[in-house]
């Protein structure tokens, strides 16, 4: 990867995202809660990166109930998108306001370098899609939300994904009927939230003529289906939205508990990402090569090449 920021242009990333959705192969997009995690997602061979609203708010110490602002989401999402050559899809919740605000959201996320975003049909304040007690807006309101978002797009390759939360509120048939209208309103991709079983995913596939995205979030309403299972029914993309955050936070809590008890981190060092591996992800050596006359640090800590 190029230094400082991805060398792949925003428009090339958007075209890559679309090509993946049309490729016939399931696109796997793990959530990255930080720019560094996005680099690990790329290194481990996934097709794209997802930025989760749940993870972004949790990282700020907040629940996922629509408290974050467009400014916060675009800044963090942009930093993540620019840290990788992969395309990044971001969670834009309900669009941060009325249809005019959803339109501004798209323009802002385009400027931030995202390849696409999803907008959901919940009311504000929104809830995690896998919790009970959500409410959805009338279908006409979501169609206006999407229409405004689509019309604000300046790069026609920026992917607008429509998410329906209606399955748990109005039932599967209503959710399917809604998404057909979302496709007619210009949605490029449909996010089928919180379906009950694989048969419901298959019924969505049969009924909707657009690329479909499955959410394999842990501890939610959907079973964790494999890439093979989702591919077999013809889904186009899968997200693992909060997975990396849950993995990392599990390790952080366990490790700190052990350190607090033992009085040293010696017992957990072998579970850590090594300094050398971190430096590989950060391309320390490439920064050094970039220009040794302006570079004043050495990865081995042996002093500066300028002798200062």
Ligand X SMILES: C[C@](O)(C(=O)O)[C@H](CC(=O)O)C(=O)O
The gap from C-alpha 160 to its chain's centroid, in whole angstroms, comes to 13
Q: Give catalytic status of residue 128 as yes or no.
A: yes
Catalytic residue chosen out of the listed positions 10, 47, 91, 188: 91
Q: Is 246 in the site for ligand X (CB under 6 A)?
A: no
Q: Which helix (H) or strand (E) holds 17?
A: helix 10-21
d(CA 33, CA 17): 20
Q: Is 77 in the site for Mg ion (CB under 5 A)?
A: no
* Binding-residue pattern over the window 41 to 60 for Mg ion, x denoting contact by CB under 5 A: ------------xx------
Cβ neighbour number for residue 297 with a 10 Å cutoff: 12
Sheet holding 88-91, edge to edge: 27-30, 237-240, 212-215, 189-192, 159-164, 116-120, 88-91, 49-51
Q: Give catalytic status of residue 199 as yes or no.
A: no
Stretch that binds ligand X, among 32-40, 46-54, 204-212, 291-299 (CB under 6 A): 46-54
d(CA 193, CA 211): 14
Q: Give catalytic status of residue 308 as yes or no.
A: no
Nearest residue to 245 via CA among 115, 52, 67, 107? 52
Q: Give catalytic status of residue 124 as yes or no.
A: no
* Local structure of residue 267 (DSSP, 8 states): G
Question: Closest separation between CB of residue 206 and ligand X, Å?
Answer: 23
* Helix (H) and strand (E) counts in the chain: 13, 8
Burial, 300: exposed, middle or buried (Cβ in 10 Å; 0-12, 13-18, 19+)? exposed
Stretch that binds ligand X, among 143-151, 214-222, 253-261, 300-308 (CB under 6 A): 214-222
Q: Is 215 in the site for ligand X (CB under 6 A)?
A: yes
Q: Give catalytic status of residue 163 as yes or no.
A: yes
| Residue 215 contacts which entry, ligand X, Mg ion, none (Cβ below 5-8 A, type-dependent) | ligand X
* Binding-residue pattern over the window 53 to 92 for ligand X, x denoting contact by CB under 6 A: xxx--------x--------------------------x-
Q: Give catalytic status of residue 180 as yes or no.
A: no
**Can you spell out the DSSP letters for 206-228?**
HH--S-EEEE--TTSSS----HH
* Binding-residue pattern over the window 251 to 290 for ligand X, x denoting contact by CB under 6 A: ----------------------------------------
Question: Closest separation between CB of residue 236 and ligand X, Å?
Answer: 16
Specify which residues 212 forms β-bridges with: 190
- Asked if 49 contacts 79 with a C-beta cutoff of 8 angstroms, the reply is no
Q: Give catalytic status of residue 118 as yes or no.
A: yes
Q: How far apart, in Å, do the first and last CA atoms of the chain sit?
A: 30
- Count of residues interacting with ligand X (CB under 6 A): 14
Catalytic residue chosen out of the listed positions 14, 130, 157, 215: 215
Catalytic residue chosen out of the listed positions 14, 18, 47, 50: 50
Question: Closest separation between CB of residue 165 and ligand X, Å?
Answer: 8
Looking only at residues 152 through 181 of this chain, which bind ligand X when binding is defined by CB under 6 A?
Answer: none
Give start and end residues of each alpha helix (H) in 130-171: 139-152, 167-170
- Count of residues interacting with Mg ion (CB under 5 A): 3
Q: Is 193 in the site for Mg ion (CB under 5 A)?
A: no
Q: Give catalytic status of residue 215 as yes or no.
A: yes
d(CA 56, CA 245): 9
Q: Is 128 in the site for ligand X (CB under 6 A)?
A: yes
Specify which residues 122 forms β-bridges with: 136
Of 47, 91, 121, 188, the residue at the interface with Mg ion (CB under 5 A) is 91
Task: Report the catalytic residues.
Answer: 50, 64, 91, 93, 118, 120, 128, 163, 193, 215
* Residues making contact with ligand X (CB under 6 A): 52-55, 64, 91, 128-130, 215, 217, 220, 241-242
């Amino acid at each position: 990867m190029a230094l400082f920021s991805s060398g792949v242009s925003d428009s090339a990333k958007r075209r890559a995202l679309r090509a993946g959705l049309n490729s016939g192969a399931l696109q796997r997009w793990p959530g990255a809660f930080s720019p560094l995690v996005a680099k690990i997602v790329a290194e481990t061979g996934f097709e794209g990166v997802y930025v989760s609203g749940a993870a972004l708010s949790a990282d700020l110490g907040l629940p996922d109930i629509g408290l974050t602002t467009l400014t916060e989401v675009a800044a963090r999402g942009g930093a993540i998108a620019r840290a990788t050559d992969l395309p990044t899809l971001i969670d834009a919740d309900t669009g941060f306001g009325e249809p005019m605000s959803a339109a501004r959201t798209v323009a802002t996320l385009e400027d931030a370098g995202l390849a696409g975003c999803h907008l959901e049909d919940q009311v504000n304040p929104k809830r995690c899609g896998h919790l009970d007690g959500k409410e959805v807006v009338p279908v006409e309101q979501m169609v206006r939300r999407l229409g405004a978002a689509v019309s604000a797009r300046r790069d026609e390759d920026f992917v607008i994904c429509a998410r329906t939360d209606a399955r748990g509120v109005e039932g599967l048939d209503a959710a399917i009927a809604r998404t057909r209208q979302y496709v007619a309103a210009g949605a490029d991709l449909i996010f089928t939230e919180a379906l009950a079983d694989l048969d419901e995913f298959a019924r969505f596939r049969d009924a909707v003529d657009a690329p479909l995205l499955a959410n394999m979030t842990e501890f939610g309403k959907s079973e964790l289906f494999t890439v093979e299972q989702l591919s077999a029914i013809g889904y186009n993309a899968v997200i693992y939205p909060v997975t990396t955050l849950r993995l990392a936070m599990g390790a952080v809590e366990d490790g700190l508990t052990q350190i607090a008890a033992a009085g040293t981190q010696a017992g957990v060092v072998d579970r850590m990402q090594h300094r050398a591996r971190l430096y590989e992800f950060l391309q320390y050596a490439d920064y050094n090569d970039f220009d040794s006359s302006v570079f004043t640090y050495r990865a081995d800590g042996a002093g500066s090449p300028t002798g200062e």
